[in-house]
Structure 1
Amino acid sequence: MSAASQSRPWDVHRLPSAAGRTFLITGGNAGIGYFAAEQLAATGAVVILGSRDRARADAAMASIRSRVPGARVRHLPLDLADLSSLKRAVDALDIGHLDAVVHNAGVALDDPPRRRTVDGHELMFGTNHLGHFALTQWLAPLLSTAPAGRVVTVGSFAARSERLDLADLQSAQDYRPKRTYGRSKLAQMSFGFELDRRLRTAGSRVLSVVAHPGGALDSLTPSRPPVAVTSPGVRLRALPCALVVQGKDAGAWPIVRAVLDPGVQGGQLWGPRVFGLRGAPRHEPVPSHMADPAVAAHLWAASTELTGSEPHLGFR
């Protein structure tokens, strides 16, 4: 990229070319992940949608191709709630390197009962955090081979008000769905910041960046049938909310910038400009509880044990 292009203000509607690069987005078939995939596909990159549902992935790819002529998109069967399946999934990628992975897929439950993954872990913590933690190990060789690999972890505004209970990471003793979800996203963000510290210590070229979509509502999101349909009436009624929040298309902007912008640095947090809830993407200060080294070390050790991963996740 030329010096002139690097000096231009970031424009969410005029993204730099990423031709020749390959990106994997977990949960790229819906929501924030879909719009990140659509926007990245427009840069000329190969975009891989990690999804356990083939039909939904096919619908997402058809939608992207209808809006991005010549889009290079493909599907990777991926189930983050089944740790034993992740190495096979990565082997099926059949690529020489991976320029970025976006850890986006997530489960959010509103009501009890407490549910479990195939491996017996609490479903939200197990999918949102442990699944991505384990996946990172299998992707490490591909990311390390890239000229400037990135791990972009998608957090949530909900994590700001939560704190990890290191004695009950999986909410076995006190399960409250919304709190458990917020803590699972906090665990993801803590992992993203700790991963970058470890990558810097190891002298790796790979960067770990954390991004969040702010307040992103379905009712303010443009329709992408058959992936998602928002009626004009629903959007009209939601317009007052647009003063403080936004749609999922705009919610994808910080994630896309974290993937593409050559000025982004490891260990940074990116989110919407206006109160962290809406607007163009900006670099945000990292809340201290998200990057506490002692908490992160405890979480990392527990995650390593629970997933059977290597302590250094295989990066070089």
Structure 2
Amino acid sequence: MSPTSSAPLPWDVHRLPRADGRIFLVTGGNAGIGYFVAEQLSATGATVVLGSRNPAKAEAATASIRTRVPGARVRAVQLDLADLSSLGTAVESLEAERLDAVVLNAGVALDDPPRRETGDGHELMFGTNHLGHFALTHWLMPLLSAAPEARIVTTGSFAAKSERLDIEDLQSRKDYRPKRTYGRSKLAQMYFGLELDRRLRAVDSTVASVVVHPGGALDSLTPSRPPVHVRTARTRLIAAPAALLLQGKQAGAWPAVRAVLDPTVRGGQLWGPRVFGLRGEPRREPVWSHLADSSVAARSWDASRDLTGVDLGTVPG
């Protein structure tokens, strides 16, 4: 192959392409996987905006990124996905003419009962993780459509692989089990990401929607970023055997980062870790069989529209 060939180079998670002049929003960018998505994207020269419910945590995260990425263009906006009425104002506070990508990453995970609700009366995990992002996308669409080739990257979860949506009980009113409700909230997000791309393609939009998942990403395998995340020597020792199959959250960020930056990534695709879908460098994987059911995706979309009062049915091109 000649040196002038235009064939893409192999993807290297440690040598990301430049993205100077572009602007990316990461929801939940103040902690966990979202923090590492923001940190890695900041190293490309792009402007990265952290959407965060907690201003103090957002300030700590931006300070940490600036320490590790000299010259980082990073800032924060207050974003509470559990409060649907606040989202329009949050998007206005971006003060941007366009948005090149959004990573829909923020999430709430509860381990124990009782069932909790948002101020809008939605089950907390479903209402925040899915409905909040569904409504936020509506408000962001004009900014995304103003960019040349914007991307909406939805961060799902490996936990969603074994779950199935109960369209008649999306709010887990009849049978609430926290871990299952969490998995289903992430599954609803993933259905949304795929259905959104189908609708974007139908109107010849320049915006693409991609779905990713981080595999098995543990705090105990995640490098320290004090005060955002601190890992002790004892934690590192205890977690060592898990590293054979799982990974830290810095690696869990890789599929989302690739979905934002790699020009070969296309809308409607699913990306996750290379090794058993649990760890390793990001790769495209087949859309899970239950996720490929467009009838379930369409019914979930309609229910989400009714619950949020937001109509994304005619997305702008």
TM-score (norm 2): 0.98
Q: Does the 8 Å contact 2:203/2:315 carry over to 1?
A: no
Return the alpha-carbon distance in structure 1 between the equivalents of residues 189 and 182 of structure 2.
11
Match of 1:78 in 2: 79
3-state SS, counterpart of residue 271 of structure 2: strand
Check if 1:31 corresponds to 2:32: yes
Deviates more, 1:196-205 or 1:288-297: 288-297
Task: Tell me the amino acid that sits aligned with residue 180 of structure 1.
Answer: T
Instruction: Point out where structure 2 has 5 or more consecutive residues left out of the alignment.
Output: none
Displacement after TM superposition at 1:314 (Å) = 3.8
Return the alpha-carbon distance in structure 2 between the equivalents of residues 119 and 187 of structure 1.
18
Q: Does the 8 Å contact 1:134/1:307 carry over to 2?
A: yes
3-state SS, counterpart of residue 283 of structure 1: strand
Return the alpha-carbon distance in structure 1 between the equivalents of residues 193 and 240 of structure 2.
34
Match of 1:42 in 2: 43
Return the alpha-carbon distance in structure 2 between the equivalents of residues 34 and 13 of structure 1.
16
Deviates more, 1:197-206 or 1:304-313: 304-313
Match of 1:289 in 2: 290
- List per-residue Cα deviations over 1:26-47 (Å, max 9, x = no partner): 0000000000000000000000
Match of 1:179 in 2: 180
Q: Does the 8 Å contact 1:23/1:100 carry over to 2?
A: yes
Task: Tell me the amino acid that sits aligned with residue 225 of structure 1.
Answer: P
Correspondences of 1:1-316 after superposition (within 5 Å): 7-312=8-313, 314-316=315-317
3-state SS, counterpart of residue 167 of structure 2: coil
3-state SS, counterpart of residue 168 of structure 2: coil
Structure 1 stretches of at least 4 aligned residues deviating more than 4 Å after TM superposition:
2-6
Task: From the superposition, tell whether residues 181 and 125 of structure 1 become closer, same or farther in structure 2 (CA, over 3 Å).
Answer: same
Task: From the superposition, tell whether residues 3 and 123 of structure 1 become closer, same or farther in structure 2 (CA, over 3 Å).
Answer: farther
Displacement after TM superposition at 1:5 (Å) = 7.4
Return the alpha-carbon distance in structure 2 between the equivalents of residues 315 and 241 of structure 1.
45
Return the alpha-carbon distance in structure 1 between the equivalents of residues 4 and 316 of structure 2.
30
3-state SS, counterpart of residue 288 of structure 1: coil
Instruction: Point out where structure 1 has 5 or more consecutive residues left out of the alignment.
Output: none
3-state SS, counterpart of residue 153 of structure 1: strand
Displacement after TM superposition at 1:4 (Å) = 5.8
Return the alpha-carbon distance in structure 2 between the equivalents of residues 50 and 314 of structure 1.
23
Displacement after TM superposition at 1:290 (Å) = 1.2
Return the alpha-carbon distance in structure 2 between the equivalents of residues 201 and 130 of structure 1.
23
Task: Tell me the amino acid that sits aligned with residue 195 of structure 2.
Answer: E
- List per-residue Cα deviations over 1:98-157 (Å, max 9, x = no partner): 000000000000100000001000000000000000000000000001000100000000
3-state SS, counterpart of residue 167 of structure 1: helix
Percent pairwise identity: 72
Aligned residues: 315
3-state SS, counterpart of residue 47 of structure 1: strand
Task: From the superposition, tell whether residues 298 and 284 of structure 1 become closer, same or farther in structure 2 (CA, over 3 Å).
Answer: same
Task: From the superposition, tell whether residues 287 and 146 of structure 1 become closer, same or farther in structure 2 (CA, over 3 Å).
Answer: same
Task: Tell me the amino acid that sits aligned with residue 296 of structure 2.
Answer: V
- List per-residue Cα deviations over 1:270-314 (Å, max 9, x = no partner): 000000000000000001211311101110111011111114264
- List per-residue Cα deviations over 1:174-211 (Å, max 9, x = no partner): 10100000000000000000000000001001000001
Return the alpha-carbon distance in structure 1 between the equivalents of residues 6 and 104 of structure 2.
27
Task: Tell me the amino acid that sits aligned with residue 14 of structure 1.
Answer: R
Displacement after TM superposition at 1:315 (Å) = 2.3
Return the alpha-carbon distance in structure 2 between the equivalents of residues 134 and 313 of structure 1.
14
- List per-residue Cα deviations over 1:242-293 (Å, max 9, x = no partner): 1000000001001100000000000000000000000000000001211311
Return the alpha-carbon distance in structure 2 between the equivalents of residues 47 and 311 of structure 1.
25
